[in-house]
Amino acid sequence: MKNQFKLALLDLDGTLWRDGQVIPGAPAFVERLREQGTQPVFFTNNSSRTPKEVVAALERCGIGAHPEEVCTSAQAAAHALMARIPAGSTVAYVGLNGLEEALRAAGFTPARAQGGNLHGASPDDAAAAVIGMDQNVTYHDLAIITRIAYRLGWFVLTNSDARYPVADGTFIPGNGSLGALVEYASGVRPIVTGKPDSSFVEFALLRYGVKKEEAVIIGDNIYTDVLAGAQAGVKTIHVLSGVSFPDATDLPQADETVESVANIFRQEPL
């Protein structure tokens, strides 16, 4: 794979950093991509952070980045809504700054379900409902989203991750678990916009103007990063610096497997 890629979709946690600590060699790897003319894109299922907040986190790890190089599941969710509802529509959501900013940037009016209320709008006025990760979400917040999803017959889920890893090595319920509650109560299946859904990859390819054969996904999670690439027809590199799935024999195998991003250029140019 010598200099064939115009775009590298880079997972963050487990690929460039782990538990907030930079993975050795990651800053040099990103710089090497730039030097050879491959555009790095920081490709994350995390809908909570804005692009500027992601850039700040990368810079704390010594990795230079620009907000326009960040591609989030929140942005993909907002893009998906653009094909379904008119600009200016009220969108009910649970989530944090990253999702609110993405909805505003796409021309919608966000209304956050928080504290058991939909702020700034009536639930009857919502043209869409979106679920993003929010560790402070309440039962009553999800009840609002559930009723809207039931009325509309659809809702958007920024990613379907069942679990969210935390610093002590355990986990908390992830965004997909919140979505599962709404799906079960409403009887409505969500539109999922994050990895491993191929629509997230297709959104990135469209946004950055490249063909699928000109892109590569690099990540540590077989169930999200590698599966997303396989489903979208994009080459994948699996790094072993993050989560491990020794029993994942039923899933597509990556095109290449390395210990970490630091090893990629030791073998040959990307």
Active site residues: 11, 13
By C-alpha distance, which of 242, 245, 246, 239 is closest to 261? 239
**Binding site annotation covers 168?**
no
**Binding site annotation covers 2?**
no
**Binding site annotation covers 13?**
yes
CA distance 242 to 223: 13
In sequence order, what are the residues at sequence separation of 6 or more whose Cβ sits closer than 8 angstroms to the Cβ of residue 27? Answer: 61, 62, 63, 64
Which residue pairs, CB below 8 angstroms and at least 24 apart, start in 103-108? 103/74, 103/77, 103/78, 103/130, 105/75, 105/78, 106/78, 106/79, 106/81, 106/82, 107/82, 108/78, 108/81
In sequence order, what are the residues at sequence separation of 6 or more whose Cβ sits closer than 8 angstroms to the Cβ of residue 230? Answer: 236, 251, 252
In sequence order, what are the residues at sequence separation of 6 or more whose Cβ sits closer than 8 angstroms to the Cβ of residue 252? Answer: 226, 227, 230
CA distance 163 to 148: 25
CA distance 224 to 9: 13
Angle at 192 between CA 191 and CA 198, to 5 degrees: 115
Q: Which ranges of the chain would DSSP assign to H, the alpha helix?
A: 26-35, 51-60, 73-82, 97-105, 139-152, 175-186, 198-208, 227-232, 264-267
**Binding site annotation covers 250?**
no
- Indicate the helix (H) or strand (E) that contains 242: none
The annotation places the binding site for substrate at 195
The annotation places the binding site at 11, 13, 195, 220
